[in-house]
Structure 1
Amino acid sequence: MSQSAITGTPAPVAGVVQRGQRSAGERIGEAVERSWRPFALLLGCFAVWWAISAAELIEPYLVPSPGATLDVMAEKSGYIMEHSWVTTYETLLGFVIAVAVGVLAAVVMVYSSTVEKTLYPVLLFAQVVPKIAIAPLFVVWLGFGIGPKILIAVLIAFFPVVISMVTGLKAVDPEMIQLSQTMGASPLQTFVKIRFPASFPHLFSGLKVAVTLAVTGAVVGEFVGANEGLGYVILQANGNLDTPMLFAGLLVMSLIGVVLFVLVEVAEKLLLPWHASRRGDPVTTTY
């Protein structure tokens, strides 16, 4: 009996080198390697911003200095945080609704060519219509409450979810579908066990786009008619020529989008450890 059979470890395959599990230090090193370039770029942008403001190449009422912007964020942190929570809530609610409706619509479109041919042109038309142009209509129909903001966030985030989910469901290997049918699996079992999990890589690509667009949608809705939220803060600051507050609102808005993007990416890593892009111990061929 071979040693691999006794120990329960898989036998080595000729021409294939299996790398061992990475240590914590190696993972930290890889995280640092991936992160230092974006941080260096951000620091470079802030350095250019500071240099322009320090040299007074642009008037302060047009572009405030980083120090003035950070001072406003510190002095009015409570005010900014209060409105940030409103925008975050609208974004998350709109994103969740867009995901639920988008996934359901994609499933129906994949399993019904008639629905796909009927619905797809309508979705495309709705996507190309500028949301800022129809946002006032939502305010007229739904009032100045939270409804118009959520609706705009849903409309903006909906299209990437549908397209990515349809692509993922159609990208399943036909041989896997035939194999499941040969083994007697019902259409529901095939969908739950094969099609739906296999669509996750495409779906998460769309979710990362959709969650950032949902932030934009919520803020656009606040631009049109609101008395709270980051869109309201930015609009008020613009009207008062308060550029430090305006820049502070833009920075916080961008930060919300980045944090939500990272959360979706973390969820992707947790749910898709089997995907090729998420494997911790890759296999390298030597042929």
Structure 2
Amino acid sequence: MTGAVPAARAERAPKGEPMRELLVRITPPLVIVVLLLFVWEAAVRITGVAPEILPAPLRVISAGWDARADLWENTLPTLYVTLIGFSVSLVIGWGLAVAIDFSTWLRRGMMPLLVASQTIPIIAIAPLVIIWFGFGLLPKVLVIALVTFFPVTVGLVEGFDSADRESANLVKSMGGDRWKLFCYVRLPSALPAFFTALRISITYAVTGAIFAEYVGAEFGLGIYMGMQKNAFRTDLVLASVMVTAVLSVALFCLTYLLEYVIVPWHVKARRRGK
């Protein structure tokens, strides 16, 4: 027993390992973004295009910094709505996926409807949601949930189906019922697929919040973009887009940290497979 303790300690990942892995992942895209901004800046200066049409990146960054208080004031409502709506989406996605996994009849009935729900154009349904539910928090949350629940649901359903058959047969041979089979075999097998779907959904969540704000909100990045567009402040519109992109990337990166905490065995296995 005493020899197992040092071995277990040796297998523990260094404290800074998640952060190092995150830096390795984000460094290449950051380099590409810097190069694209450099090309953009050079193209604007060479062509002499008007700032009202296409401002240079330095002008966008400068305008965004000058308006940082307004941007921050409008970023917080967008982030708040995004997190609330995405939380509701996770509850709906998990509930539907578990119900589908337990019921073959429900799987046959719900899967076509889930696919059909994604054919609804959000830009068309968002105004109707505002008409039906008013201008409060609820319609924005519903729009975000409608945009994001599908990847979570499908990812979980496919993850449940990927459970190892030998492990399932072992649980059954030991007298395990359907619920124990789900908890000990199917649920752990679905977690890697869930985090893949989570990364897809979280980026859609910010976009869904912007769409919802366009049709009914007092504050938020969507409202701010609309106001600056009407004022022909293209630099501030693009500054808002940059903030939106940074927000989406930050939430995307957060999913990797959550994955490392919740399913560290999968992260280590994926790293060994590279």
Give the structure-2-normalised TM-score.
Answer: 0.90
Aligned-residue offset at 1:132: 0.7
Of 163, 186, 207, which aligns to 1:195? 186
Q: Distance in 2 between matches of 1:283 and 1:247?
A: 40
Q: Distance in 2 between matches of 1:21 and 1:280?
A: 16
- Whether the 8 Å contact between 1:220 and 1:231 is mirrored in structure 2 is yes
Aligned-residue offset at 1:282: 4.0
Give the equivalent residue in structure 1 for 2:97. 106
Q: Distance in 2 between matches of 1:25 and 1:218?
A: 33
Report sequence identity in percent: 31
- Whether the 8 Å contact between 2:93 and 2:152 is mirrored in structure 1 is yes
Are 1:221 and 2:212 an aligned pair? yes
Larger Rg: 1
Of 245, 249, 265, which aligns to 1:258? 249
Aligned-residue offset at 1:109: 0.8
Aligned-residue offset at 1:266: 0.7
Are 1:132 and 2:123 an aligned pair? yes
- Whether the 8 Å contact between 2:94 and 2:153 is mirrored in structure 1 is yes
Are 1:171 and 2:157 an aligned pair? no
Cα-to-partner distance string for 1:122-153 (whole Å, 9 max, x where unaligned): 11111111111111101101112222211111
Structure 1 or 2: more helix by fraction? 2
Count of matched residue pairs: 272
CA gap 1:268/1:237 in 2 versus in 1, 3 angstroms: same
Give the equivalent residue in structure 2 for 1:14. none
CA gap 1:283/1:215 in 2 versus in 1, 3 angstroms: closer
Are 1:123 and 2:127 an aligned pair? no
Aligned-residue offset at 1:35: 3.8
CA gap 1:207/1:280 in 2 versus in 1, 3 angstroms: closer
- Whether the 8 Å contact between 1:177 and 1:194 is mirrored in structure 2 is yes
- Whether the 8 Å contact between 1:87 and 1:229 is mirrored in structure 2 is yes
Aligned-residue offset at 1:57: 4.4
Give the equivalent residue in structure 1 for 2:230. 239
Q: Distance in 2 between matches of 1:7 and 1:134?
A: 62
Aligned-residue offset at 1:23: 6.9
Give the equivalent residue in structure 2 for 1:181. 172
Q: Distance in 1 between matches of 2:42 and 2:273?
A: 48
Aligned-residue offset at 1:39: 1.7
Are 1:273 and 2:267 an aligned pair? no
Of 129, 134, 138, which aligns to 1:147? 138
Structure 1 regions of 5+ residues with no counterpart? Answer: 12-18
Cα-to-partner distance string for 1:56-95 (whole Å, 9 max, x where unaligned): 3432111111222112221111111011010001111111
- Whether the 8 Å contact between 1:222 and 1:232 is mirrored in structure 2 is yes
- Whether the 8 Å contact between 1:20 and 1:281 is mirrored in structure 2 is no
- Whether the 8 Å contact between 1:21 and 1:281 is mirrored in structure 2 is no
Are 1:94 and 2:82 an aligned pair? no
Are 1:55 and 2:46 an aligned pair? yes
- Whether the 8 Å contact between 1:149 and 1:219 is mirrored in structure 2 is no
- Whether the 8 Å contact between 2:164 and 2:185 is mirrored in structure 1 is no
Amino acid of the structure 2 residue aligned with 1:100? V
Are 1:42 and 2:33 an aligned pair? yes
- Whether the 8 Å contact between 2:18 and 2:260 is mirrored in structure 1 is no
Amino acid of the structure 1 residue aligned with 2:180? Q
Cα-to-partner distance string for 1:142-198 (whole Å, 9 max, x where unaligned): 112222211111000010001000000011012211110111223222212221111
Q: Distance in 2 between matches of 1:263 and 1:29?
A: 14
Aligned-residue offset at 1:100: 1.0
Q: Distance in 1 between matches of 2:130 and 2:15?
A: 52
Bigger Cα displacement from structure 2, 65-74 vs 231-240: 65-74
Bigger Cα displacement from structure 2, 100-109 vs 190-199: 190-199
Aligned-residue offset at 1:34: 3.9
Structure 2 regions of 5+ residues with no counterpart? Answer: none
SS at match of 1:175: helix
Q: Distance in 2 between matches of 1:146 and 1:23?
A: 42
Amino acid of the structure 2 residue aligned with 1:61? E
SS at match of 1:128: coil
Bigger Cα displacement from structure 2, 164-173 vs 231-240: 231-240
